[in-house]
Amino acid sequence: MHIIVAGGGGAIESRPLDETFAQWVGFNGRLLYLPIAMDGVNRSYHENLAWLESVFMPHGVVNITMCTELDNCLGRELNFFNAIYLGGGNTPRLLHLLRTTAFDKALLHFARTGGAVYGGSAGAIVLGRHIGTSAHLDANEDHLTDLAGLNLVQGYAIWCHYQPADDERIQAYIRQTGHPVLALSESGGACLEGARLRACGYEAVRVFRGNVNQFFRPGEEIKF
């Protein structure tokens, strides 16, 4: 598998992750962009697309298709695309939309059969084991009770926008769920290539498991 989970920073903070993802997509590769975790109001979908194009076109990724209705996305053959980018926004809303359209199953199949997937912020969290890591940030307006994510990152739950002040919240989350956590700052991220998971942003990834935590510097393989 080829999965990137990013901590939620902007284009400057995520540059190493974006460069890696662009290499995976390939020159003139086809990228599907899903900004559906956003409401399309505070910043229009077309503004989001313009931002994504400004990030990836300089790296040679010029074939970018945006889809804002998942039912319409499933009308296309996903294997037409080399990669999928899941944008940020409201995490429970994103998971709800993926499930109610069965796009979650299509996305799992896409990732497991060679497609590259990038998750930023909410997009990263849903790729993890459990979205309870977003409870302090995102309102659960769809009243989800099953918070299981797609579990594509070696059993880790993903904590985005990490700051050291979050440590007590993370420990409380682990006591409640028992899930290990990858904590990603806005300048941090992790890349999964096959069975190898490594820190690949500007800043270290902090891994929490039980009462123990450990830092992994950029480029280091994450083994706990």
pLDDT of 77 higher than 90 = no
Write the pLDDT tens digit of every residue in 98-140.
999 999 999 999 999 999 999 999 999 999 999 999 999 998 9
**Within-domain flag for 111:** yes
**Within-domain flag for 157:** yes
pLDDT of 204 higher than 90 = yes
Give the integer Cα–Cα distance in Å for 170 and 167: 5
Tokens 């899930």, located at residue: 179
Write the pLDDT tens digit of every residue in 86-104.
999 999 999 999 999 999 9
Q: How confident is the model at residue 151 (pLDDT cuts 50, 70, 90)?
A: very high
**Within-domain flag for 221:** no
Q: What was the pLDDT predicted at 187?
A: 95
Closest by CA position to 160, among listed 13, 2, 1, 12: 13
Q: For residue 82, how many other CB atoms are within 10 A of its CB?
A: 19
CATH code of residue 211: 3.40.50.880
Q: How confident is the model at residue 196 (pLDDT cuts 50, 70, 90)?
A: very high
Domains contained in the chain, number: 1
**Within-domain flag for 222:** no
**Within-domain flag for 223:** no
Give the integer Cα–Cα distance in Å for 116 and 78: 12
Write the pLDDT tens digit of every residue in 11-43.
899 999 999 999 999 988 999 999 999 875 566
**Within-domain flag for 117:** yes
Cβ atoms of 152 and 111 closer than 8 Å:
yes
Q: What was the pLDDT predicted at 155?
A: 96
What are the CA-CA distances from residue 128 to residues 59, 158, 194, 204, 208 (Å)? 27, 5, 16, 18, 14
Domain range for 21 is: 2-216
Q: What was the pLDDT predicted at 45?
A: 84
Write the pLDDT tens digit of every residue in 179-195.
999 999 999 999 999 99
**Within-domain flag for 156:** yes
Cβ atoms of 89 and 39 closer than 8 Å:
yes
**Within-domain flag for 108:** yes
Q: How confident is the model at residue 211 (pLDDT cuts 50, 70, 90)?
A: confident
Cβ atoms of 73 and 86 closer than 8 Å:
no
Per residue in 197-211, is it b (16+ CB within 10 Å) or e — as a string? bbbbbbbbbbbbeee
